[in-house]
Amino acid sequence: MRDLAGYRRIAVVPAFNEERNIGRVLEELRAFDTGLEVVVVSDGSTDRTPDVAAAHGAHVVRLPFNLGIGGAVQTGFRYAWEHGYDLAVRCDGDGQHVPAELDKVLEPVLAGEADICVGSRFGAGDGYRSSKTRRVGIRLLAAIVSAIARQRVTDTTSGFQALNRRALELFAADYPHDYPEVEGMVMTIKHRLRLCEVPVRMREREHGRSSITALRSIYYMAKVLLALFVGLFRRRVVPAEDV
């Protein structure tokens, strides 16, 4: 692991009613790196999520109502961008992401090999379990994104990521709304930022339920496919550097 000391670094943690999980996530982030600032974006939580987060020493942004994961994450990226951080990691507040794995996604960004590095739950060996329909959907999206990106991508829905300031600039300016990771990857490529993927471990949810149910995942697929298709015909928000 490279030395992080020279960087102003922050973890963006979106959380919606995660008072039971958020404390542990924040402790694990602290254990990973004591110099890592944390901003918890409470996405219209109605429980004690913001208070628990503040008690654990995180910066807390309280959205007045639920914006959905994309809007919440973008708020965190805006916070990081406005406060001049060099490096940001995103780690969800529901306990599925393992902060101890952060060095794996940070490594390529610190090495200057990537602007965004995404942790993939596939390929880490210990078999992430999910339903069959969901696997088909994930494969399909991965194949489409891989084709657009002209590089192999296995997990298009992972929110476990490390970003440098160039990537923060892009996402602070424009970030997809509802299910942002897939479109985010394509935006990254279109803006000629360098994307990479590394295998990481992830956990099953401990408390509460995932927000994606069977019927919703069909809606999700249709929406993401539409967004991907239309996105190909969209202008850039931040001028890409010609490589």
Partner 1 sequence: MIAAQTPLKVSLAATAASLVLVLVVFELIRSRRLRERYALLWLLTGIVLVVLSAWRGGLNTIAGWFGVRGYPPAVLFAVGLLFVIVVLLHYSTVISRLSDQNVVLAQRLALLETRLRERESAD
Q: What is the DSSP string of 78-132?
A: HHHHHTT-SEEEE--TTS-B-GGGHHHHHHHHHTTS-SEEEEESSSSSS-----H
Number of residues located near partner 1, criterion CB under 8 A: 16
**Per CB under 8 A, does 82 bind partner 1?**
yes
Cβ proximity to partner 1: between 17 and 74 the closer is: 74
Kindly tell me which residue out of 16, 79, 128, 179 binds partner 1, with binding defined by CB under 8 A.
Answer: 79
**Per CB under 8 A, does 71 bind partner 1?**
yes
Cβ proximity to partner 1: between 78 and 194 the closer is: 78
Name the strand (E) or helix (H) holding 224. helix 214-231
Least distance to partner 1, CB of residue 187, Å: 16
DSSP 241: P
**Per CB under 8 A, does 235 bind partner 1?**
no
Question: 132 exposed, middle or buried (CB, 10 Å; 0-12, 13-18, 19+)?
Answer: exposed
Cβ proximity to partner 1: between 42 and 154 the closer is: 42
Residue 13: name the closest of 86, 72, 82, 54 by CA.
72
**Per CB under 8 A, does 223 bind partner 1?**
no
Contacting positions for partner 1 (CB under 8 A): 41, 59-65, 67, 71, 74-75, 78-79, 82, 177
